[in-house]
Structures are given as structure tokens and as C-alpha cells.
Amino acid sequence: MNSKTVNEATHLNNLAQEQLNFVLIHGAWADVSFWDETAASLRQAGHTVHVPEYAGHGPKIDPEVTHDDIIQSVVNYFTEQNLQHIVLVGHSFGGTIIAKVAEFVHDRISRLVFFDAFVPKDGESLVDQMPEPVQQIFHGLSTASGNNTITLPFPLFRETFANRATAQQARAIYDVSPTEPAGPLFQKLDLKKFYSLEIPKSYLFLTEDIAFPPAPFAWHPAQSSNLGMYRLIVSDGDHVSTVHTHPDIIAEKLVEAGRD
Amino acid sequence: MNSKTVNEATHLNNLAQEQLNFVLIHGAWADVSFWDETAASLRQAGHTVHVPEYAGHGPKIDPEVTHDDIIQSVVNYFTEQNLQHIVLVGHSFGGTIIAKVAEFVHDRISRLVFFDAFVPKDGESLVDQMPEPVQQIFHGLSTASGNNTITLPFPLFRETFANRATAQQARAIYDVSPTEPAGPLFQKLDLKKFYSLEIPKSYLFLTEDIAFPPAPFAWHPAQSSNLGMYRLIVSDGDHVSTVHTHPDIIAEKLVEAGRD
Amino acid sequence: MNSKTVNEATHLNNLAQEQLNFVLIHGAWADVSFWDETAASLRQAGHTVHVPEYAGHGPKIDPEVTHDDIIQSVVNYFTEQNLQHIVLVGHSFGGTIIAKVAEFVHDRISRLVFFDAFVPKDGESLVDQMPEPVQQIFHGLSTASGNNTITLPFPLFRETFANRATAQQARAIYDVSPTEPAGPLFQKLDLKKFYSLEIPKSYLFLTEDIAFPPAPFAWHPAQSSNLGMYRLIVSDGDHVSTVHTHPDIIAEKLVEAGRD
């Protein structure tokens, strides 16, 4: 028992904020522009931000890209840039990316932040996290595409990915959303090493994010609880529009999730 | 893949708000005055608001009113007023009303908004949504009334319908709450057509609303998930006092829920 | 049916706030300094606040203290101070204390407020509320201590008790956290009389409090629903840092939870 009280021991609100080094990994049906406003807000607050595009995504979608290709491209970015002390953030599908990337460059990472992101169990794919009827829909959409990609219908996107947005905002975001290569979403992932790492982990959950059923528990606690011990940060917001409409709040929550 | 980014495609926060046409349907133990402050706030923001009283309710309660009578009275209002492009909002018991009304006048409705409302499965009643012990309490209260109505005891109302209110606010709201005809609450509803409609649907959930057990999941996701695809909007607040104490917030959330 | 509307019956926001008399009971790994900032905020708002230390805790930890000793010490405080009309608040482990204290001095208590607190079923202990693997960890920690106490590892404390804090805030709070006598946490409690009391009860839940698994439902609704009818109040915040960093919000929520 220490004889000091909390009040005697510290001036809780007079402490300098640590400066963080972020790497931000977007999800499916998106590219690096997903992070434009959030990255600007983080930089404004004094943090360093990297937003690498990953394999098969960006201006030219590659329907044949594999999950391994994606991991390799991000790992290469870490080593080429010689990144250190990184807060690695993955949104949605990006959760499967940061979990695997951590297996290769964990010594360069101070913390993983899963932002309404998938945390598959060892041996499972992103699609395996969904209820059986939704899995069937994903299979149907990818088969119907003729080139192994998946495009979300606008009504589904507007109601469940951009529910907090106006109709115009939702349409604007949808209009620049690329189609998604289906292969990596179905890739079963060997995550044994990830689950053996002692790296600190956080989960950022937005309470109106019902992008994947069964809502609202697909993200938290259904996916978050796969992490074991983790730091929970909660805000309001939806799956894709809030990063564009309220980037300062998202940036603040990423700092709360990412700091030591 | 579109080559524009979200930022290039739109000025997300510079868009004019669409003007909406609301019809607001109150729940049990209430009358149209439930919506007084919220309707005023919506009108102040430029929206059109209709607040029709429905059969058996209002200044003179009719203990013999049926669920069919209620539906007919609202359907008549739609046709007599020749309403078009309506955002039809139902609170609590009102959820069973808007679902059935939509079967008859779906071409006049742009969206249904269930506001902490019941969404019975086809063939079920409002009371069927509750756990067995609560069903027994409802049966007991209606039998004890001698005229097939249900009156809520004040302690139950204060703690679970008006938990965010002061004691005086809760008492004031309770003192003007009418007794409720029991019949429509026990009426099993044929909702096959409702569940076949492709009409857009939203669910507005207030996080401190534990009006019906098992809390807090009676409303969301237990009732909301019956809707299939729907837009989720969340705020804080309780079942009946928040519309009176924070109408501007409720109005804002109804717009988020009701817009295209 | 009363012919007045709510608006006619009351000026909802012009009512004087009642003055309350609080007794605040801290949880495990804490002492009365847990309440320093919250008590100051409540007093500033005109309320009376008592913060008694309980047996075996405070400057000198007694590893041999029993749950009965703790109850007796709080009951003695009530009678020696001749307390009346008390809002009795218990945080975390403090929930087991206020439930038992109410059995002895219920006529002196106007309401019990469980603040992210345990509400054991009759015949169960605090530790019985946890999943089996966590129970094993508690057994292991107390055995390893050599003196029947439990000390939380810093990483667990930082991530799950102080997740909203900065690293410095979390460290400062941890550094003054005493070790906890294990006996009372494992004590199975006879709560038959508590569950027969008709005393009003409230539950204050902070949405980012994942101090005990399975998160986030250990507190609400898993523990809260043991209360039967209760008033729910919700805010954001974590298990131990928010009382220090945002005491005005906690004080406001304790008033909402504690008033008539």
C-alpha cells in the first residue's frame, strides 16, 4: 500500500501527450483515400502517419491478388521504410491484414489497433466470421461477378455501411468505392503465431456500425473478444461515413486506442 | 474503380438537408401529446409533421378497440389527407401499427422508422415478444382491471419508462398517461405482406431504454433484427421522458433515421 | 385519462434539484481516495457525501479481514453517525458490500446504486460471477501471494481497468492501488434478505468498462439483471480512471441514479 493518494501522486490532466507513429490499413471496397481526413487530423495533432496502399488495391484493382500478396506488400513497406515503434491500425478487412503482418514485423510494432475489424480465429477466413446465409450471399456475388470480385449493392451499402450519412454523402462515398477482389476474403488464415504474440492490442468500436450481421455484435464483442486481453475504446459512428464526416473524433479515438 | 477520391467527389458537409414529411404514431399509455415537443422541433427545422390520433385512444379511451380498428383509422387518415412520400414513425406499440399500416398504403410511404418499437414476427402479438413471466404480469393486470385495460404501476413506470427523468418529470408524465386497452397488445398479427414489402426501414434505439425485459436487448437487437436489412441510428435516452426533455435530439435522430 | 397534456401539467426543466445524502463505498484495489474528485463534485452541487473506509482497507491492509468484518464496519458507521435517507453507492466489489449492508440498515437507505458493481446471486461469491478460467487465475494469484492477497499485474490493470486513461494516468492510479485481501472476494454470500427487500435500486453502467470478462456484458446486463426491477443510467467511461479524469460527469450520473 502506497501512502499517497491518486491526487497527491499525479496531476492527471497536466501531462504531455505522447507522439505516435501510425500505419493505417484500409478495409475492403476502399483505397488509401479512406484515411485522407483522419490522417490529416492525426498529423495536425503532431503524430506521424503512413498510409501505404496494399497489393491488388488502389487505382488498378487486381482480381487475382492473394491475401499473401497483400501481407507481403505491407511487410515490404515496413522494412523498406525501416519503420519502428508503429501503431498499426486495421479497419474492417484490414484486421486480417494487421494480424498477419504482425507475425512478420512484430518487433517494429508497439500496438495493434483493430478498428471495427475482423479478428479471425486461427484457420478461419473473413467470410467464416459471418452467419451461413451471409456467406452464401458472398459466394453468390463473387460467382455472379464473372471475375471473382464482389461489388456491394447501393441500398445495402447506404443502410449498413453509411447509416449515419446523408443520402448525398453515402452516394458520394459509394461512387468512389472500388470493387473488391474476392479471394482474400475467403482465404483461410494460419494465425497461430499471431495468437502467440504478446503484442499489446486495442479494439475501437463505433456503436452504430452494423456493417456485418448479426448486428450489433459482429464487431464487439464477437470479433473483439477473439483478442483475449485488449483495450476497448468506444465512440458513436458507422462503418465508413464517420471517418469522412467526423475525422477529428476518429483521430482522437485512434490516439486513445494507440497510445502506450 | 473510380479514379476520384471521396474528397474530390464531394463536399460532404456542404449539402442541403432534404425536407421530410413525417407521420408520428405514439405507443401505449400515451396520446398525441407524446409528440408535442418533437413535432415542434421537426417543424422548426422545416419538415412537415402529421400527428394523427388513432382509434380507441385520445381524450376518450375505448377499452373495446381492436388492432384492426387502429389500423383502419390510420389508413383512413393517409387516404383522406392524400399523404405522399411519408416517413412513418412508430414508437413502442406503434411499431405494430406502422408495420400493418404499411401493408395497405406502402405506395404512400418512403420509409418506416421503428423508434424503440415492437417488430413482431408474423403471427405473433406484442405481448408474445416478452418473456413468459412478463406475459403473465400483463395477463394479470388486464384481468384485474375489470374492463380489459392495463395501467402501469408508478414505480415500474418511473424506473423503466422514465429512468432519465427527475422524480417530478416522471410523475408529471405519468399523471397524464392514460390507461391502455389490452386487446390490441394481445392481438396476433398477420404480417406476411409486411415482411414481403421492399420498403426501406430504420430502427432508432435509445441506449437507456429498458422499458421491456430482458433489458437492454428487447429493442435492439432483439426487435430490430426482425427487420432484416435496416438502418440503425443510436442515441442515449429512455423510453418516454427523453422526447419531452430533449426533443431537439430526438428530432435530429428521426431525421437521420427518416431521410433517403 | 387525464385531460391535460404533459406540457400543460409541468414545466419540465424548471424544477429544483433535490439534495441527496450519499454514502460511497469503493471497490477492490482501492481506498477512500477513489472517491476524492467525485465527492468534491457532488458537494459542490449541494449534496452531502460520506466516504467511510471499511474494515481491512485503508492505510493498513489486513489480509485476514472477512466479508462479515467489512459489513459490520459499514453498518457501525451508519448507526454511529445516525445516517438517514441515504443513497448508498457501491463500486465494483462494493456491490457485494451495499447489498449486505442493506439487509441490516434498509430503513436508513432510500436507494442502492450499483456502479459497475457485482450483484451476486444468493449463495454466490464475487468470484463465482466470473468465467471458470478467470476464477482459476484469481485462485492462482491469491495462492502465489503467500498471504492470501491479490495484486493485479500492471498490463491487465492498464488495458482493462484504465483503458480510457493515458499511460501516465494509468500508472499513477496503479501506483497508489493497494493489494486486495482475497478472502472477501471468495466469500459466498447469503443474500436472501437482500433479494426480499423492496428498496429502490439503480445500476450505473459505463460503456467502456470491461474490467471483468466476458466483456462487455459482465456488468450490464449480466450483473444488473440480477436486480430485477432497477433504474438504468449509462455513460461512457472505464472502470477506474474515469472517476479521476471526469468526476463531474460521474457525479451527475450518480445524481441521476440516486434521486427519487
The complex's ipTM works out to 0.92
Nine-digit cell at C126?
464475487
Q: Which residues of A203-240 are buried (b: 16+ CB within 10 A; e: fewer)?
A: bbbbbbbbbbbebbbbbbbebbbbbeebbbbbbbbbbb
Task: For residue C32, give its domain range.
Answer: 3-258
Q: Closest partner residue to B33 among C7, C231, C259, by Cβ?
A: C7
The per-residue pLDDT for C218 is 83
pLDDT digits (tens, 9 = 90+) for A198-237: 999 999 999 999 997 766 778 998 899 999 999 999 999 9
Chain A: give the shortest CA distance to residue B194, in Å.
Answer: 19
Nearest C-alpha neighbor of B257 from the set B49, B112, B98:
B112
Residue of chain A with shortest Cα separation from C163: A231
Q: Do A215 and B225 touch (CB under 8 A)?
A: yes
Neighbouring chains of A at 3+ CB pairs under 8 Å are B, C
User: Residue C215 — pLDDT band, cuts 50, 70, 90?
Assistant: low
Please give the Cα distance from B99 to B116 (Å, whole number). 14
pLDDT > 90 fraction of chain C, expressed in percent and rounded: 87
Neighbouring chains of B at 3+ CB pairs under 8 Å are A, C
Residues of A in contact with C172 (CB under 8 A): 6, 9-10, 12
Chain B residues whose C-beta is within 8 A of a chain A C-beta are 1-10, 12-13, 15, 17-18, 200, 207, 220-221, 224-225, 229-234, 256, 259-260
The per-residue pLDDT for B45 is 96
Q: Do C163 and A220 touch (CB under 8 A)?
A: no
The per-residue pLDDT for A167 is 96
Q: Taking 60 as the threshold, does the pLDDT of residue C29 lie above it?
A: yes
Count: domains in chain A: 1
Please give the Cα distance from C87 to C258 (Å, whole number). 6
Q: Which residues of B84-117 are buried (b: 16+ CB within 10 A; e: fewer)?
A: eebbbbbbbbbbbbbbbbbbbbeebbbbbbbbbb
Residue of chain C with shortest Cα separation from A256: C164
Block residue for cell numbers 416478452: B130
| Averaged pLDDT, C110-129 | 97
| Averaged pLDDT, C230-253 | 97
Q: Do C159 and A230 touch (CB under 8 A)?
A: yes
| Averaged pLDDT, A85-106 | 98
| Averaged pLDDT, A239-253 | 97
The per-residue pLDDT for C16 is 55
Q: Which of B112, B201, B232 best probes binding to A when mutated, by most A CB atoms within 10 angstroms?
A: B232
Q: Which of A157, A169, A210, A242 best probes binding to B when mutated, by most B CB atoms within 10 angstroms?
A: A210
The per-residue pLDDT for B213 is 72
Q: Taking 80 as the threshold, does the pLDDT of residue C30 lie above it?
A: yes
Looking at C81-212, list the stretches that DSSP marks H as alpha helix, in order from N- to C-terminal side. 94-105, 132-145, 154-160, 167-175, 183-186, 192-196
User: Residue C217 — pLDDT band, cuts 50, 70, 90?
Assistant: confident
Dmax (CA) for chain C in angstroms is: 70
What CATH number corresponds to the domain at position C239? 3.40.50.1820
The answer to whether residues C181 and C61 touch, using CB atoms and an 8 Å cutoff, is yes
pLDDT digits (tens, 9 = 90+) for C45-83: 999 999 999 999 999 999 999 999 999 999 999 999 999
Residues of chain B where predicted confidence (pLDDT) is lower than 70 = 1-16, 214-215
Q: Do B260 and A60 touch (CB under 8 A)?
A: no
Concatenated DSSP letters for B115-153? ES---PPTT--TGGGS-HHHHHHHHHHHHHHSSSEE---
CA C163 to mean position of chain CA atoms: 18
| Averaged pLDDT, A239-243 | 98
> pLDDT averaged over chain C?
92
Residue of chain A with shortest Cα separation from B12: A169
